[in-house]
Amino acid sequence: MTEKPTLPLESVLAPGLHAEILSEALPYMQRYDRQIVVVKYGGHAMGDAKLAEDFAQDIVLLEQSGVKPIVVHGGGPQIGAMLEKLKIKSEFANGLRITDRATVEIVEMVLAGSINKQIVSEINRLGGKACGICGKDGNLMIARKLERTVRDPDSNIEKVVDLGFVGEPERVNPHIVEVISASDLIPVIAPIGVSADGTTYNINADTFAAALAGAMKAKRLLLLTDVPGVLDREKRLIPKLTVSEARALIADGTISGGMIPKVESCIEVIQAGVEGVVIIDGRVPHAVLLELFTKHGAGTLIVRDT
């Protein structure tokens, strides 16, 4: 008589474990069914091939699960590498790249060209149907010149810094994104805007994604970053904050440095009608799925006061 083969313990347990994971995800899938989720993709995850594949898989699974994902991507390191290759020197003021006419042409070429199409190709390779555009298409993002002031440490006098062709959202016309999304395609958007007179502007990807999410009344805005989220004074992750709690942490100095404008941007988005904004560590594999489809999440969720 042939002896029945014995399966390793982990093989016996695996199906049950998989069923438990799927069961846990079901109510979250139902929560986001047919809902718009805007995902800002950038940072370290864009430069890591495995994390880039994980991200594309997450976006494909979201779409196939009934979610309506919209991707807005950055590309600072790739822009810097191309400028260096072409021997075009970059200058920065207050953390923002000063973008002259030569630089903005490279920025548009890299963002709306090579990076955008790489993301589209990866999503398509993994079974999705993505469509790449930028903020100039269909007048999606009408921009104005961004003005920033800096205070001279010696004289304590504020002066306006000319950042060149760096812009900020003035008006969002989301029709083209709505048409793409309604066609069961996944919009992948480069953060390039255009002014009313046709001038091209480079827009910070976080700012672009926030403006778009607000205009489309998205269920969630996910900001993939290179940090775990908002941390307390002991450097522990804070899983959830209300708007008033976030403001209090800014006031008492717990939230500081570059996290301040990011959290302030989250608050503005919530006030514009988005249900919640999440600051997520994009270096965590499948961070998007962990945040949306598990009870633990993967970052700091900021919501309006109840």
pLDDT tens-place string over residues 144-186:
998 877 666 667 777 777 888 999 999 999 999 999 999 989 9
**Residue 207 is assigned to a structural domain of this protein:** yes
- The pTM of the full predicted model, rounded to 2 decimals, is 0.86
Q: With respect to residue 170, please indicate whether it lies within any of the assigned structural domains.
A: yes
Answer whether residue 141 shows pLDDT above 70. yes
* Residue 66 lies inside a defined structural domain of this protein: yes
Instruction: Please count the other Cβ atoms lying within 10 Å of the Cβ belonging to residue 33.
Output: 12
**Per-residue pLDDT, 157:** 75
CB 232 within 8 A of CB 254: yes
- What CATH code is carried by the domain that includes residue 179? 3.40.1160.10
Contacts of residue 12, defined as CB under 8 A and 6 or more positions apart, other chains included, come to none
The reply to whether 153 falls in a domain is yes
Q: pLDDT value at position 143? A: 97
Residue pLDDT, tens place only, 101-130: 888 999 999 999 999 999 999 999 999 999
Does residue 75 sit within a domain?
yes
Looking at the predicted structure, is the pLDDT value of residue 296 above 80? Answer: no
pLDDT of residue 22: 62
Residue type present at position 306: T
- Residues in the chain, total: 306
pLDDT in tens, 9-60: 444 445 554 566 666 777 667 777 889 999 999 877 787 889 999 999 999 9
Terminal CA-CA length for the chain: 68
Are 99 and 163 in contact, with CB atoms under 8 Å apart?
yes
pLDDT in tens, 63-107: 998 999 999 999 888 888 888 888 888 777 666 668 888 889 999
Per the model's pLDDT, the better-predicted residue between 227 and 150 turns out to be 227
Q: How far apart are CA 110 and CA 90, in angstroms?
A: 15
Tell whether 25 is covered by a domain.
no
Work out the angle at residue 173's Cα, subtended by the Cα atoms of residues 172 and 178, and round it to the nearest 5 degrees: 120
* Mean pLDDT across 270-276: 91
Q: Is residue 212 part of a domain?
A: yes
Among 57, 65, 58, 25, residue whose Cα is nearest residue 288:
58
pLDDT tens digit string along 235-264?
999 999 999 999 999 999 999 887 888 898
Phi, psi of 164, deg, nearest 5: 75, -130
Q: Which residue has the higher pLDDT, 195 or 12?
A: 195
Give φ, ψ of 256 to 5 degrees.
-145, 175
Cβ contacts of 296 within 8 Å, gap of 6 or more = 290
pLDDT value for 238: 93
Q: Residue 20 falls within a domain, yes or no? A: no
Torsion of CA 131, 135, 138, 144, to 10 degrees: 180
By residue range, what is the domain housing residue 45? 34-303
Going from the C-alpha of 109 to that of each of 76, 141, 232, the distances in angstroms are 13, 17, 40
The total of structural domains in the chain comes to: 1
